A and B are shown apart, each in its own frame.
Chain A
Amino acid sequence: MTATAEFPVSGSAVPAPRPGSILMTPARLAAIQPSRVSGARAFMNKMVRERWDISVQRFDIDKSAAGTFVYSIKSPDCEFSFIGFSFPPSRTARTGRIIGRAWDMMGTLNEGPATEADIESARVELPKLYSGRATPNALIWCRSNRSMRVFDQTLAALADGNQPEISALSEVCYLMRNTGLDGNGTFGTRSFPSLGADHPLGGVLQAQLLTAYLMREYSCDLVEHLASLKSDKAVKIDPTTRRFLGVGNGSALGLIFFIQKHPRLINALLTARENAIAKARALAVEKGDDRVAQLLELVQRAIVFRQQDKMVYEAFTSSQQIAADLQQVAQALDALRQTGLVNGERASYPLDALAQHFDDTLSPEAGEIFLSLLVELVPDMVDDAIRAIDAPDEFTVQASEKACDLLTLVRRDYGWALEADMAHPHAYRYVWYKSETAEEPRRGARDEVPDALDLGLDICGGVQKLAADLEASPADLTLARFLMKHPQHRHLVARIQSLRGLTYHTPHANINAEAFVPIDLVRLMNVGIHGIDKTRDFLNRNLRGVLYHGAPTPQDIRAGYTGTWFYPAEPATA
């Protein structure tokens, strides 16, 4: 009896990327997990691959934590500098929100080595924030705050000649938290599109991600430096612990404006991930396959990571539940490795069969972790796709197209928007706006801020009104003439036409509705796209998490670190 006759064969269709109707719902987008496509991982892989050289040039900081520091960052072809100013922590007007006034560090990432003129300009201009002006070689302005308790505990331990308690560190997993990364023309910083694909920081979000990594390094260097000023017996952080400490990140509603403003970028990143997943799901793995063993090892790493996660989640699946789900994944992978079977059956595409099974049986987050780890089996495809991303922000009208053709397109691609109940009393309950103080993005009940201008894009309402006006127009009317009569539709027509053929550009949601949960999309950006781990959620709108959790140190990068750094286990207690 042959194996084929002995075991039924399931699933013969070649795995394909998921349709937008499934992936683009907010709840599903929220479940997407960090992967090789995510910014932090992609950028760290690049720095390691190219062996970037990061070093401290200046660290003139006194024991009160006041002073100046400079880092040099050398890619194979360019040098950058990170100039920063350290401030003694103040509890007055301290809040992680942009409206806060107390920052423990402010800095600028510049092209080229730091000059005294750059340093002095930054010293004057950075504190002005929106009314400051960056030098022409500046890419990013940033600021960060300490996690006071964990920073102080670490400082005290190091000064005493001891390593910090891992149990305390693991409650937040960072010493300082990013509270702002502004660039791409803000404050006069350089426009990112002008960098071009060949620039060392010309890829997706790379200038911001380098700055965030430097914040991680600075936080560790600062605590070691202050400990050494405090005591002669001070020690440095153990390298394993230093890797474990990422940089904190606080994010919220502004990311939803970002998603609305950059649909091509969102589409490109999600497309890269979905294509890679589909490719991996189609791999012809067999009994004893090394790729299955590799995947199993990654899943086991993720299990430990989740088991050790001490964060408290309000709305999200607990890490303990996810760890339990991943145990099922591990068992299924182990069975596949030993037998070549999935649930006792031979599958044309075993990894696809597993993914389908997990989709029905596991929490969405656990299922997405499996898919994210699958991507590690096709690394070159992912890296190539990321390098090829080009996502300009400009939209144009194709004026000779007929009204009937646009209506067909709208009905085909925006059914979700046409189906939204915009007559419901809660359809426009909320307004998206910014405060005059520090331009903080906010979302509030419309009747509580009646004078606030809505800065969000009403896709559902706009699409419905556009469709109605198209239906009432002669079928062969060109859009040039349609827009003369209906100029209010100009932006949406340009957007719809410009995004034609793309699958993953717009979340399928009415962001003004009572039922919309902002944190779903904040989480997409933070977790799936930026690659942040252990994201605690607050009030369904804010996230606090860890970026570069487990990332190689500059010494590791310089040496061309090999191995898996993400999903780090807690360092063993000495």
Chain B
Amino acid sequence: MTTLRIMPREMRLMSERILSLTALPKGFFTAVIDHVMYSQKLAFGGFAMLETRFDVLAKADPAKIAIASETAGTLELDAAGEHAWFVVPTLLDLAGEFVARFGEARITVANALDPAELKIAQALAGRTGLALTVREGDAPVFTATAQPLTGIVAQDDPTLWALLCDGVQIDAELWWRTYHHAKKALAADTVVSRRHAGPMIVNEDGTVIGRKDNDDETDISFLAAPGAQNTQGENAKP
């Protein structure tokens, strides 16, 4: 198997684009794009799971996640069948609230899809000022306490630091499938859309709007006929 070293910027970009193809609100999926990357780094489902679970993720409704029961410092969370990646934010929020109120939190999560993925919450907790431990199971139990932030990424969030330093090795075929899936979030290149950027606009009749002193010796025919010609990079795509 050939693997590629993929860095956080690319993983974040691909996750964001793929999640943008779901029905999830932008203000939500933008906040959870790191979860796929953490899952990959921690050798859980990662990008393979993003691929295989996409149909489920596309129909997700994180507002269905609810508190089943609650006492001081202890809480049972009903994930309502939502995917673990989308339960993690609520889990961390409630842990943060309880730690602030009671000094510690004990949260059980039931009915999450792919519950093993909830463990990424452990890695993400540090950046929110929490130390999280987990007892695994179908309904895993999380215990949280305060972990003061230092402002140093390597200490607050060692997983992110490892990602920034070394990236992740990902199967090349999986990565390129992910890449092409993510490209669906980009817009088709049309004559009209080419007019939405650049220092000049080429009309359908070949006339030009804008100054021509842009100093790049633009090939007008190239701009006027998108789709027929791809970029160097597109030609070389695996």
Binding site for B on A (CB under 8 A): 91-97, 99-103, 127-133, 136, 145, 147-149, 172, 177, 184-191, 193-194, 248, 250, 252-253, 312, 314, 390, 392, 394-400, 433-444, 448-449, 451-455, 462, 478-481, 483-492, 494, 536, 538-539, 541-542, 544
Inter-chain CA distance A443–B201, complex, in Å, is: 13
Distance, CA A394 to CA B66, complexed state (A) = 26
Asked if residues A488 and B189 are in contact (CB atoms below 8 Å), the reply is: no
Inter-chain pairs besides A127-B236, A394-B34, 18 sampled, C-beta below 8 Å: A97-B197, A101-B230, A188-B6, A191-B8, A191-B164, A435-B188, A435-B189, A442-B187, A442-B197, A444-B192, A451-B188, A454-B26, A462-B27, A486-B63, A487-B27, A488-B25, A488-B26, A536-B213
> Does residue B20 face the partner (Cβ distance < 8 Å to A)?
yes
**Chain A residues positioned under 8 Å from B188 (CB to CB):** 435-436, 451
Within 8 Å CB of A102, what residues of B? Answer: 219
Contacts of A148 in B (CB 8 A): 217
CA distance A194 to B152 in the complex (A): 11
Q: Which residue of B lies closest to A438 (CB)?
A: B231
Mask: chain B, 206-226; 1 = CB below 8 Å from A; 0 = not: 000111011111110011001
**Number of CB contacts from chain A to chain B under 8 A:** 262
Contact flag A172-B7 (CB < 8 Å), given A396-B127, A442-B197, A483-B90: no
CB nearest to A436 among chain B residues: B186
Q: Which residues of the partner chain B approach A145 to less than 8 Å between Cβ atoms?
A: 216
- What are the 5 closest A-B residue pairs judged by CB atoms, nearest first? A129-B233, A185-B9, A185-B7, A444-B196, A96-B216
| B227 nearest CB neighbor, chain A only | A437
The reply to whether B187 and A399 contact each other, CB–CB distance below 8 Å, is no
Stretch from B47-55, B91-99, B115-123, B132-140 at the A interface: B91-99
A-B contact pairs, 29 of them (CB 8 A): A93-B219, A95-B218, A96-B218, A99-B226, A99-B231, A102-B219, A130-B237, A131-B233, A132-B236, A149-B215, A185-B7, A191-B163, A191-B167, A194-B161, A252-B198, A396-B128, A433-B186, A435-B189, A442-B196, A442-B197, A449-B196, A453-B185, A479-B93, A480-B96, A480-B97, A483-B90, A484-B66, A484-B90, A539-B200
B100 at the interface (CB under 8 A from A): yes
Q: Mark B14-29, 1 if CB is under 8 A from A, else 0.
A: 0000001100011110
Query: In the complex, which of the residues A131, A188, A314, A399 contacts B237, with contact meaning CB atoms closer than 8 Å?
Result: A131
B164-220 interface with A by 8 A CB criterion: 164-165, 167, 176, 179, 183, 185-190, 192-201, 209-211, 213-219
A243 smallest CB distance to B (angstroms): 21
B229 touches A (CB below 8 Å):
yes
Chain A residue contacts of B231, Cβ below 8 A: 99-101, 129, 437-438
Question: Given known contacts A188-B5, A188-B10, is B96 in contact with A542 (CB within 8 Å)?
Answer: no
Decide yes or no whether B65 CB sits under 8 A from chain A: yes
Provide the residues of chain B in CB contact with A392, threshold 8 Å.
153
Contacts of B128 in A (CB 8 A): 396-397, 399
Distance A185 CA – B167 CA, assembled complex (angstroms)? 9
Note all chain A residues with C-beta closer than 8 A to B157.
394
Cα–Cα, bound, A130→B237 (Å): 8
Question: Shortest beta-carbon distance, B76 to chain A, in Å?
Answer: 14
Residues of A within 8 A of B66 (CB): 484
Cβ A491 vs Cβ B31 within 8 A: yes
CB distance from B157 to the nearest CB of A (A): 8
Are the C-beta atoms of A100 and B222 separated by less than 8 Å? Answer: yes
**B131 at interface by CB-CB < 8 Å:** no
State A492–B164 Cα separation when bound (angstroms). Answer: 24
Collect the chain B residues with CB atoms within 8 Å of residue A128's CB. Answer: 232-233, 236-237
Chain B residue contacts of A186, Cβ below 8 A = 7, 9-10
Taking a contact as CB atoms closer than 8 A, the residue among B93, B179, B190, B223 that contacts A399 in the complex is B93
Answer yes or no: B160 CB below 8 A from chain A CBs: yes
Contact A483-B93, Cβ < 8 Å, known A101-B229, A188-B5: yes
Contact across chains for B167 and A188 when beta carbons are under 8 A apart: yes
Residue pair A490, B31 in contact (C-beta under 8 Å): yes
Contacts of A544 in B (CB 8 A): 199, 214-215
The reply to whether B198 and A248 form a contact with Cβ atoms under 8 Å apart is no
Shortest beta-carbon distance, A411 to chain B, in Å? 19
Identify the interface centre among B153, B164, B179, B186: most chain A CB within 10 Å of its CB: B186
Closest Cβ of chain B to A417, distance in Å, is 14
Contacts A95-B222, A396-B128: A538 and B229 contacting too (C-beta < 8 A)? no
Contact of B198 among A94, A451, A542 (CB under 8 A): A542
| Chain B residue nearest in CB terms to A127 | B232
Q: Is B59 an interface residue (CB 8 A)?
A: no
Q: How near does chain B come to A135, taking the closest CB pair, in angstroms?
A: 9
The answer to whether A488 and B9 have CB atoms under 8 Å apart is no
Evaluate whether A491 and B26 lie within 8 angstroms (CB atoms) in the complex, with A94-B222, A442-B196, A452-B187 already known: yes
What chain A residues lie within 8 Å of B45 (beta carbons)?
A: none
Residue of A95, A136, A392 most packed against chain B (CB within 10 A)? A95
Residue of A nearest to B163 (CB): A191
Q: Select from chain A the residue with minimum beta-carbon distance to B184.
A: A436
Report yes or no: A250 in contact with B193, Cβ–Cβ below 8 A.
Answer: no
Of the candidates B28, B93, B210, the one having the most CB atoms from chain A within 10 angstroms of its own CB is: B93
CA of A433 to CA of B189 in the docked complex: distance in angstroms? 11
Complex interface: chain A residues within 8 A of B199 (CB): 96, 250, 252, 538-539, 542, 544
Roughly how many angstroms separate A481 CA and B63 CA in the complex, as a whole number? 11
Do residues A480 and B90 form an inter-chain contact, with CB atoms below 8 A? Answer: yes
Nearest to B11 among chain A residues (CB) is A185
- Are B238 and A131 touching (Cβ within 8 A)? yes
Task: Mark interface residues in B31-64 (1 if CB within 8 Å of A CB, else 0).
Answer: 1101000000000000000000000000000110
